[in-house]
Copies of this chain bind each other. A is one copy, B any other.
Amino acid sequence: MRYMLRVAYDGTEYCGWQVQPGQRTVEGTLKSALDKLMGKDVPMIGASRTDAGVHAEGNVAVFDCDTTIPADKIKYALNNMLPEDVVVVESKQVDDNFHPRHCDCRKTYQYRILNTQMPDPNRRRNTYFYRWKLDMEAMRAAADCIVGTHDFACFMAAGSQVTDTVRTVYSLELAKIDDVITMTIQGNGFLYNMVRIIAGTLIQVGRGQLEPGQIADIIKKGERKNAGPTAPAKGLTLKVIDYE
């Protein structure tokens, strides 16, 4: 039987999702608990290989196993063995053909900017503190140019091996609630560091260092150097992955 887990985590203390020898990773931590629960090695496939320091409310992992534990109880059994910064929020049985990376899906990420005069120690782990005033209207105009199906090579970190750089961004919304600016982006997939580079680029627009009108040209030229810097990992959260 194939099972799916929805996993939330505070990525602060992890070297990202993916298992790496000698490193503390979310996948490694989760797999240790799963292997212990099932009493054997259980191969697991993750949906999104989030970077070091990136958080999640709903990353997805899948595994095959025969167990008498009811599907919706697996989450409680795993949470008993997991550290408190990783929580399985849902466990259920899925179709045997379901593959978290090969199925069509919509991923939603949120980037959070704490836009205050002074940093806030109680929000330092999951916001990016940015002191200077940001022009929300300019940022929204720039965001509108990113929505759609484009070749997003300009927003991909240098060194990525990916060759097909066309992706669809379904929506990119900016909101300000009290002193936190949130950038919520939904797409069918994202290139390496794409969301953080978009955040860094929109911050430059908000500061007036880039004009909203330049964004279409930056995308068209397809060169990483024209876009803004990669915003820090701690502002980023993988909110949800919806499978169609």
Contact = CB atoms under 8 A, between A and B. Distances in A.
Interface string A1-21: 000000011100000000000
A122 interface: yes
B10 A124 contact: yes
A85 B124 contact: yes
A120 B85 contact: no
Interface in A1-48: 8-10
A122 B84 CA distance: 10
Contacts of A126: 122
A89 B10 CA distance: 26
A84 B119 contact: yes
A121 B84 contact: yes
A162 interface: no
A207 B237 CA distance: 33
Interface string A177-221: 000000000000000000000000000000000000000000000
Contacts of A79: 119
A10 B84 contact: no
A87 B120 contact: yes
Main secondary structure of the interface of A (DSSP, over half): mixed
B89 A122 contact: no
A118 B57 CA distance: 11
A55 interface: yes
A139 interface: no
A227 interface: no
A156 interface: no
A57 B9 CA distance: 25
Contacts of A120: 8, 57, 87
A177 to B, nearest CB: 10
Given A89-B118, A118-B89, A84 B9 contact: no
A57 B237 CA distance: 24
20 contacts: A8-B118, A8-B120, A8-B121, A8-B122, A9-B121, A9-B122, A10-B121, A10-B122, A10-B124, A55-B122, A57-B120, A57-B122, A75-B118, A79-B119, A85-B124, A86-B121, A87-B121, A90-B118, A122-B126, A122-B237
